[in-house]
Amino acid sequence: MKELTHWINGKHVKGTSGRFADVFNPATGEVQAKVPLASKAELDHAASEAAKAQVKWGATNPQRRARVMMEFVRLLNRDMQKLAEVLSSEHGKTVPDAKGDIQRGLEVMEFCIGAPQMLKGEFTDSAGPGIDMYSMRQPVGVAAGITPFNFPAMIPMWKMGPALACGNAFILKPSERDPSVPLMLAELMQEAGLPDGVLQVVNGDKEAVDAILDNPEIGAIGFVGSTPIAEYIYGRGCSNGKRVQCFGGAKNHMIIMPDADMDQAADALVGAGYGAAGERCMAISVAVPVGDATADALIERLIPRIEKLKVGPYTAGNDVDYGPVVTAAAKANILRLVESGVQQGAKLVVDGRNFKLQGYEDGFFVGPHLFDHVTRDMDIYKKEIFGPVLSTVRAKTYEEALAYAMDHEYGNGTAIFTRDGDTARDFANRVNVGMIGINVPIPVPLAYHTFGGWKKSAFGDLNQHGPDAFRFYTRTKTITSRWPSGIKEGASLNFKPMD
């Protein structure tokens, strides 16, 4: 059986803790590899080495750092197919979806090529008599990223790209469920010219996470995962004096107005609700049609589309719409929540509970589910299911529909489908959610904008990628400078203006 490694100082390093986690093939249920789980000592060693390597990397001029990003992008395109196949074999998503995962990370790396522009400071000439004032953006030193299983290429690149472009060293703690692609990204970074030690990949579980939170050499931490863990990391990291950004769970609503194009809305819901088996933090998991006539028309269109979805292994290529979920535990949790929806009175319109795939009976496949007449007190409405389950909550009015999105504890993404510009504008202005789609079901911003939710979907003041990333991974230093020019003022103990 394959035994994976850590990536320390530019080479693969075997784990020394003696602890390992299983890496499954989700399509077959078989264990395909073992990944080492780092001890505190291993993480601390990686951080210490990263701090040493960062000194020279931080002193490298921004344009030369950007050239490494440029070469990495070229190599990533070269190896796209290989990366996608490895990603699919550990996560379960289809190869086309895996390529999308990689592409969205690649776009952030492309944005990082422009780092020199983003790192420019400000300058004021003659702020006072003979006095100039200017600011510099400098790296925080060593940063760390704790990334989730559902985007094992994209999120690591969202974190490490800006951090490295800013001159930091970076420690990546990827999900232990699908760790191979992050290790491959580290290899490509080395091939692109990144000095050894500047990027370390340390596999692990809670012990490694706690070591990151407590290590004094790590100055900034980025996390993506569930809300309870996000709250834990944010609290412990901040208490240790670190800069922390954490992105948690989601329950994304899509409001369908009576004037919407129902076929367009139905297609959008199927893609946004069932793509990647629903294992996306920006998946639409709640449809909110306004009025019973709208709801009936929508359900009528959804049922045949959902029943035609093809579920299968990634090896089936384009003949599959989505694959298995990542683990047996994930599958069990999804089916438990589906059962709770039935018990609590929701109408299960499309029932995927008994789905079996011939030849893959031990795989972690979950059939598609569609609920109607869901109410806000049900578990399937309150909790993030992270599976191929779409809940329909009927609203009588636009205001009631808006309240569903606004009152929910999560505020990651939301969407509205309508032909009315006034309604769309009102929705965008009023809804207390971080990312809004207008006739766009998954409103993930492009790399040069910023990604982040509100409420219990995000903790911290700055978002991911875009300009916020360069603010997060740098500190501002402001310099007031005066050179002697024969002016003699004498000593003054008064605090006075420069002019």
- Is the same domain home to 213 and 311? no
Residue with tokens 């701090």: 51
Mean pLDDT of 439-459: 93
Query: Residue 166 is encoded by which pair of tokens?
Result: 């800013």
β-strand 20-25 against 435-438: which pairing, if any? unpaired
- Is the same domain home to 141 and 242? yes
- Taking the CA of residue 169 as centre, how many other CA atoms within 13 Å lie in the half-sphere pointing to its CB? 28
The 10s digit of each residue's pLDDT in 193-204 is: 999 999 999 999
CA–CA separation, 429 and 239 (whole Å): 34
Is 281 one of the catalytic residues? Answer: yes
Residues in Cβ contact with 410 at an 8 Å cutoff, skipping those fewer than 6 apart? 227, 248, 249, 250, 251, 252, 384, 453, 455, 456, 457
Query: What pLDDT was estimated at residue 128?
Result: 86
Dihedral angle of Cα 204, 102, 156, 390, to the nearest 10 degrees: -80
Query: What pLDDT was estimated at residue 497?
Result: 67
Nearest CA among 183, 215, 214, 189 for reference residue 201: 183
Q: Enter the pTM of the model.
A: 0.94
List Cα–Cα distances, 62 to 67, 114, 220, in angstroms: 9, 9, 20
The 10s digit of each residue's pLDDT in 40-52 is: 999 999 999 999 9
In a domain, 102, yes or no: yes
Annotated catalytic residue, options 112, 166, 246, 281: 281
In a domain, 497, yes or no: no
Q: Is the pLDDT of residue 390 over 90?
A: yes
- Is the same domain home to 305 and 380? yes
**Other CB atoms within 10 A of residue 119 CB:** 20
- Is the same domain home to 260 and 210? no
Query: What pLDDT was estimated at residue 490?
Result: 67
- Is the same domain home to 123 and 234? yes
**Other CB atoms within 10 A of residue 306 CB:** 22
- Is the same domain home to 276 and 312? yes
- Is the same domain home to 262 and 243? no
In a domain, 485, yes or no: no
- Is the same domain home to 206 and 275? no
CA–CA separation, 402 and 390 (whole Å): 18
- Is the same domain home to 191 and 264? no
Name residue 369's beta-bridge partners: 389
Residues in Cβ contact with 460 at an 8 Å cutoff, skipping those fewer than 6 apart? 234, 244, 245, 246
- Is the same domain home to 194 and 266? no
Q: In 37-100, where do the E strands start and end?
A: none
Residue with tokens 């002016």: 487
One-character DSSP codes across 83-152? HHHHHHHHH---HHHHHHHHHHHHHHHHHHTTHHHHT---EEEEEETTEEEEEEEEE-SEEEEE--SS-T
- Is the same domain home to 402 and 328? yes
DSSP code of residue 34: E
Query: What pLDDT was estimated at residue 130?
Result: 85
Query: What pLDDT was estimated at residue 347?
Result: 98
In a domain, 486, yes or no: no
Name residue 322's beta-bridge partners: 311
One-letter amino acid identity for 402? L
In a domain, 443, yes or no: no
Query: What pLDDT was estimated at residue 486?
Result: 61
Which CATH number fits the domain that encloses residue 112? 3.40.605.10
Q: Is the pLDDT of residue 499 over 70?
A: no
266 within 8 A of 301, measured Cβ to Cβ: yes
Question: Which residues span the domain enclosing 240?
Answer: 2-248+457-479
- Is the same domain home to 290 and 319? yes
The 10s digit of each residue's pLDDT in 14-39 is: 999 999 999 999 999 999 999 999 99
DSSP code of residue 194: P
Task: Please give the tally of structural domains in the chain.
Answer: 2
One-letter amino acid identity for 127? A
- Give percent of the chain above pLDDT 70: 97
In a domain, 145, yes or no: yes
**Average pLDDT value for the chain:** 96
Among 77-81, 292-296, 484-488, which is the least confidently predicted range? 484-488
Which CATH number fits the domain that encloses residue 391? 3.40.309.10
Helix 154-165 and helix 180-192: axis angle, to 10°?
A: 30
In a domain, 444, yes or no: no
